[in-house]
């Protein structure tokens, strides 16, 4: 269905370059409009972590929790030397031996509040076609809330995050552990990356920043159809 939909469309909006390259094979009128966040609803709260215990968090769904599974060994090894709680949002239960886990279902009415209790956000992904097509929503949610974020170097993640500037990128067990330890042991690093992440969302990934570009696409599509009719 997808190639047909693209070819029949007056204009295609793609969430990242990987998707845009696919759409361009079917339609010359393609613009990248990234996933956006409502920055009026997603706001940092400046919460202080619990004494001696940070909350490392992941948000997703029952179908995507397999992505969190890719760093199970990372979290288990980290728990042998560091004290933290793992908050898993999107599945009613999550078992991870040796790790203090709090699992809760995703709820629209408490989504922002549930995320605000995270001190470090995780977005691990396998390097495969499906993951390369993802548009970074999870990372952008964390970042909009001022939460320092660690992502796999997969797909659009490397576009959204500049490693060490507005978040962290990691590959492999050793790098994931090293990046997590850096954040656990440095409140200043957490604050700096969290603030920079929020600014990144405000400038390029907020609904407010992208709305004018979406309007331009709609106007181009309408004008194109009118010209074709004439």
Instruction: Evaluate whether 22 touches 39 at the Cβ level (below 8 Å).
Output: no
- pLDDT range class, residue 230, cuts 50, 70, 90: very low
227 falls in which pLDDT band (50, 70, 90)?
very low
pLDDT of amino acid 114: 96
Neighbouring residues of 217: CB distance < 8 A, sequence distance ≥ 6: 11, 13, 31, 33
Q: Each residue of 22-79: pLDDT tens digit?
A: 999 999 999 999 999 999 999 998 766 665 789 999 999 988 999 999 999 999 999 9
More reliable by pLDDT, 38 or 220: 38
Distance, CA of 89 to CA of 91 (rounded, Å) = 6
> Which value, to the nearest 10 degrees, does the dihedral of the CA atoms of residues 183, 184, 189, 194 take?
70
* Edge-to-edge order in the sheet of strand 84-89: 100-104, 84-89, 54-59, 120-123, 149-152, 168-170
The confidence score (pLDDT) of residue 229 equals: 34
Model pLDDT, residue 153: 96
pLDDT digits over 153-207, tens only?
A: 999 999 999 999 999 999 999 999 999 999 999 999 999 999 999 999 999 999 9
Q: What is the pLDDT of residue 51?
A: 58
Summary mean pLDDT of the chain: 93
Token digits of residue 37: 């966040």
* pTM beyond 0.85: yes
pLDDT at 228: 37
Phi and psi for 34 in degrees, rounded to 5? -70, 165
- Cα atoms in the 13 Å half-sphere on the side-chain side of 28: 1
């Amino acid at each position: 269905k997808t190639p047909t939909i693209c070819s029949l469309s007056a204009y295609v909006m793609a969430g990242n370059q990987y998707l845009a390259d696919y759409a361009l094979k079917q339609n010359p009128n393609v613009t990248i409009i990234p996933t956006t966040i409502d920055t009026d609803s997603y706001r940092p709260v400046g919460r202080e972590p619990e004494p001696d215990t940070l909350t490392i968090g992941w948000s997703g769904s029952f179908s995507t929790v397999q992505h969190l599974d890719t760093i199970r060994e990372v979290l288990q090894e980290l728990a042998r030397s560091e004290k933290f709680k793992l908050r898993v949002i999107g599945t009613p239960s999550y078992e991870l031996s040796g790790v203090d886990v709090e699992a809760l279902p995703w709820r629209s009415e408490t989504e922002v509040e549930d995320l605000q209790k995270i001190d470090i956000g995780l977005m691990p992904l396998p390097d495969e076609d499906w993951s390369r097509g993802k548009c970074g929503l999870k990372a952008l949610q964390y970042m909009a809330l001022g939460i320092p974020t660690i992502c796999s170097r997969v797909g659009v993640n490397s576009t959204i995050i500049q490693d060490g500037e507005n978040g962290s990128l990691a590959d492999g067990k050793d790098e994931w552990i090293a990046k997590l330890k850096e954040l656990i042991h440095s409140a200043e690093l957490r604050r700096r990356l969290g603030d920079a992440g929020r600014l990144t969302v405000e400038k390029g990934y907020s609904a407010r920043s992208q709305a004018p570009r979406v309007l331009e696409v709609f106007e181009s599509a309408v004008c194109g159809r009118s010209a074709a009719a004439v």
